Structure 1
Amino acid sequence: MKLSFLAALLFGCTCFGQNKTDASLYMKAEKISYLTDIGSESGDLYSTIGHHGPAVENQWMALRIYFSEKAAIDVYNKAKAGLELKEAHWYPTPEQQKQGWGADYYKVGNTVGLGGIRLWDGEKVVPLNPVTNRLAHVGKTDTTSFMEMISKGVPYKGKKVDIKVRVTVYSDRRDAKVEAFSLTGEKVQFVTGINYFKDFETKKGANYIAVWGKHPEDVAAEIIPVGAAIMYDPKDYVKNTDDGTQYLLISKPSTYLTTRIISSSAKEQELNTLDKLEAFIKK
């Protein structure tokens, strides 16, 4: 009996030790005390929170949701596998980047970014703004880390809806899961997608869109090609569109939607071209 208990304890410790993910949420003025929850009736803590919103990471990328009217998903790409958020705080120095740290090569602009969520009212995209309150939450399990953002009181078709976006990263798994919920039970048409810029390469399949190119970013020490892709179930959507800055997917009326997202860059050793990224997606 004692042996069984010890074995179970060791197994549990081993599993926990294998969690190669992390979550991060903290006040910009204080990088020591990490939070699990924060909220704002204005819906905008962009300048108050570290890395402008909650963030999660696996070995290959970090993701954040902007705590502002954008509520978009942004990417931090890495040159080598490892966890960097707690030390780099999303913005490593130029010297650190030269030593092999990752960087913020990705630029969201006014788009959904990579897999971000907005709504569709039948004619146009509706941002998750204004709100009566916006809440962020981060957490970890033995093998995952997740972040959530709830936008409460979003005006939609003459009513107000509460929308939750949850992003989960997994140990030893390159892609992340994005989930959107209509918490009030009202069916909505979600909008998601992936942004791109001039001269980007694009590859599309029945259930994915992948892009590759240089983002006009001015934060990183250098500009390098970055790849990104969104994987989805085509049965969940009624329309695909391209507004010149992003490929958008418009869902059927629903209370729940899920996609998977992935990003890589030319600086890493594995998925450092669009062809390699697409081949990985097709597996």
Structure 2
Amino acid sequence: MKLPFITALLFCCICFGQNNTDTSLYMKAEKITYLTDIGSESGDLYKTIGHHGPAVENEWMGLRIYFSDKAAIDVYSKARPGLELKQANWYPTPEQQKEGWGADYYKVGATVGLGGVRLWDGEKVVPLNPVSNRLAHVGKTETTSFMEMISRGVPYKGKKVDIMVRVTVFSGKREAKVEAFSLNGEKVQFVTGINYFKDFETKKGTNYIAVWGKHPEDVAAEIVGIGAAIIYNPKDYEKNTDDGTQYLLISKPTKSLETKIIAASAREQELNTLDKLEAYIK
């Protein structure tokens, strides 16, 4: 029996309109209660918040911003499409990982991680720290989930600036969007980029940097090859540099900046090599 046209249309809208993204922000002591906002005058809730900061995910990856002086972006890598953070809380058991769950294979260290944002004072990288207050907010739309971190009162070139970083993941789209804003309205130079380790493979184009390799992570059940890439508009930047642990992009003075980031894993079926990742970007 054929479905009436309107019924079929509604069915299709429900299927294709499903939001395969989610947010996660909670206190470690209260996993049952999920939050939309949290703040701290110290700027450091690293040990207090679940998975050390706000997080978002879509089918292919999870992303978090560390609620600390790092304010870096870290990756939760997945072996199969699906939403996992509300069950895995970023750290699935070794048994779950062997059954096909994702894991925390990515290691940020002291770097910006994947697309994290800091400032440039003309000579060096300036962290978004110290602060007079740091705030985190998460939210959802019909097709996206996003997280925002506002660092207020960051010392920069003899003044204090307020910087917001927003990360948005999209349902049905692998790339996440990273935006940075100078909330005071003054132009600043942002720094972003992508980190890497010894023996990593790297591919570069006019508007992207892609890396692939095994992170020296010690919280996952195994070590797995991980890919990551940042896509950017070269017209937004005045300088690129490599400090031996990360490829950095230094922006021209601006009030806002936007990049896209992608993560992939050797465990997944689609983008499981650097060549496939680069082909997808192109």
- Displacement, 1:11? 7.9
- Displacement, 1:109? 0.1
Alpha-carbon distance in 2 for matches of 1:11, 1:93: 36
Q: Does 1:84 align with 2:103?
A: no
Q: How does 1:122-133 map to 2 (within 5 A)?
A: 122-133=122-133
RMSD in angstroms over aligned alpha carbons? 1.5
Q: How does 1:229-240 map to 2 (within 5 A)?
A: 229-240=229-240
Alpha-carbon distance in 2 for matches of 1:279, 1:146: 27
Q: Does 1:164 align with 2:164?
A: yes
> Which runs of no fewer than 5 residues in structure 2 stay unpaired?
1-5
2:3 corresponding residue in structure 1: none
1:50 corresponding residue in structure 2: 50
2:101 corresponding residue in structure 1: 101
Size of the aligned set, in residue pairs, is 276
Q: How does 1:1-283 map to 2 (within 5 A)?
A: 10=10, 14=14, 18-282=18-282
Alpha-carbon distance in 2 for matches of 1:113, 1:234: 20
What whole-Å deviation, never above 9, does each CA across 1:179-217 have from its counterpart, x for those lacking one? 000000010000000000000000000000000000000
Asked if the contact 1:55/1:63 (under 8 Å) is kept, the reply is yes
- Displacement, 1:167? 0.2
Alpha-carbon distance in 2 for matches of 1:196, 1:28: 30
Alpha-carbon distance in 2 for matches of 1:97, 1:19: 24
What whole-Å deviation, never above 9, does each CA across 1:40-91 have from its counterpart, x for those lacking one? 0000000000000000000000000000000000000000000000000000
**What TM-score do the two structures reach when normalised by structure 1?**
0.95
Instruction: Give the AA of the match of 2:138.
Output: V
- Displacement, 1:143? 0.4
Instruction: Give the AA of the match of 1:255.
Output: K
Alpha-carbon distance in 2 for matches of 1:162, 1:135: 11
Instruction: Give the AA of the match of 2:124.
Output: K
Moved more, 15-24 or 128-137: 15-24
- Give the percent of matched residue pairs that are identical in Structure 1 and Structure 2: 84
Instruction: Give the AA of the match of 2:274.
Output: L
Instruction: Give the AA of the match of 2:32.
Output: I
SS at match of 1:212: strand
**What TM-score do the two structures reach when normalised by structure 2?**
0.96
Alpha-carbon distance in 1 for matches of 2:88, 2:78: 11
- Displacement, 1:15? 7.1
Asked if the contact 1:113/1:195 (under 8 Å) is kept, the reply is yes
- Displacement, 1:12? 11
Asked if the contact 1:15/1:142 (under 8 Å) is kept, the reply is no
Asked if the contact 1:16/1:143 (under 8 Å) is kept, the reply is no
SS at match of 2:279: helix
1:3 corresponding residue in structure 2: none
Asked if the contact 1:16/1:142 (under 8 Å) is kept, the reply is no
What whole-Å deviation, never above 9, does each CA across 1:68-127 have from its counterpart, x for those lacking one? 000000000000000000000000000000000000000000000000000000000000
Asked if the contact 1:15/1:143 (under 8 Å) is kept, the reply is no
Instruction: Give the AA of the match of 2:104.
Output: D
- Displacement, 1:14? 2.0
